[in-house]
Amino acid sequence: MAKRALSSLDVAGKRVLVRVDFNVPIEQGVEAIASYDQRLRATLPTIQYLVQKNSRVILCSHLGRPAGKVVENLRLAPVGDRLAVLLGKPVKSLKDCIGSEVETAVKAMRPGEIVLLENLRFHAGEEKNDPAFAKALAGLADCFVMDAFAVAHRAHASTVGISKLLPSAMGLLVQREVDSMNKALESPARPLAALMGGAKVSDKILVLENLISRLDHLFIGGGMAVTFLKAAGYGTGASNVEADRLEFARQVLAQGKAGKVKVHLPEDVVIASKFAAEPPEAKTVPVSQVPEGWYIMDIGEKSARQFGQGLKGCKTIIWNGPMGVFEMPKFSQGTRSVAQAIAGLRGVTTVVGGGSTAEAVEEMSLMSKMTHVSTGGGASLEFLEGKSLPGIAALPEA
């Protein structure tokens, strides 16, 4: 069901509260924010639109997991500093998100000015969707814009509570996320392929259940390939097999054999004698030759090349999950090779799920080569599972 767009909300000269997602990996240090600022860049169009409308822009976000308490190294001011650089315009960071001092600062705002409220999760009422906390936030503004897709699957005060109290709409980022994934799911150019990776089948089982009848091709890598290889009758060494998902994997493989969807499993894998970034031994072997006691860490070079070739014939690609233990450089090559192959395709719609997949694409500077890279890990998964996201469902209809 279509939700109200930003263009349909009267924001000119108004105080506009915008829920953004600036939950960047701050634990890597303030200086690293510039290397992982996709979420900041993604919301720039909404902020710039509001500035052009002479709105007083009040940004709110969470950062980390402070559990309802003030945690000094989870303050948003450094993020606000980076945002100011990206906008080429001052961003005033406040020391709280509600209260008299915040209200005074907001009242003093001039048209086109931007403030960033302090970390919402410093208040326990945020995650509890406390009505009083939502009312205090709503009292700062004339209207509300939901532009934080990454937390749209959370029923929090700033994602659900506020939209019941103020005239509300989707931001440009949320609208782009919804439109891109809806198109890939409901009206894709064919052939349609899903490239699924990540640690576990259980993380993606609902996605596969929702997608499998729509797909022409299914490529499986990452840790979840271990369970599928086991289901196909291969030895998987010491790798983690999800025994309770073997039957589901067999059902997917059976659909492949029946010709309903072409299922592509790795033909070779990179294995290690120890699950570690620098194991005593590592080598590439055919999937039929994984020794006892060894761990599958990545898809092999041959598999990465075959996945890339197979994807060439597709017109829409949904990618969610890395092909190996990407955070360990020695076992990141499968993901890198497949990402580069996808980035090199022309005339193809590529929708990349959030989380670690988006981080990999961002780290490789391939963002501009993809049609859409989601800012939401859990949210994009739930969307692909066919679930309703509370933060979007709460918004008024168009």
109 DSSP 8-state letter: P
Burial 77-114, CB ≥16 within 10 A → b, else e: ebbbebbbeeeeeebebbeebbeeebeebbeebeeebb
Let me know how long the chain is. Answer: 398
Q: Which residues pair with 284 in a beta bridge?
A: 270
Alpha carbons 355 and 381: distance in angstroms, whole number:
10
Q: Which residues pair with 116 in a beta bridge?
A: 59, 93
Which positions are annotated as active-site residues? 39, 200, 355, 378
Alpha carbons 383 and 390: distance in angstroms, whole number:
11
Alpha helix locations (H) across the chain? 38-42, 44-52, 77-87, 100-107, 124-127, 131-138, 172-186, 201-211, 224-231, 246-257, 301-312, 333-343, 356-363, 377-384, 390-393
With both helix axes pointing from N to C terminus, report the angle between 172-186 and 377-384 in degrees, rounded to the nearest 10.
40
Alpha carbons 35 and 40: distance in angstroms, whole number:
11
DSSP string, 160-229: IIGGGTS-EEE-HHHHHHHHHHHHHHHS--SSEEEEE-SS-HHHHHHHHHHHTTT-SEEEE-TTHHHHHH
Alpha carbons 247 and 375: distance in angstroms, whole number:
32
Name the strands in the sheet holding 282-286, side by side, starting at the edge strand that comes first in the sequence.
282-286, 268-272, 295-299
Burial 283-295, CB ≥16 within 10 A → b, else e: eebebeebeeebb
Phi and psi torsions of 253, nearest 5°: -65, -35
- On whether the CB atoms of residues 18 and 147 are closer than 8 A, the answer is yes
Q: Which residues pair with 144 in a beta bridge?
A: 17, 168
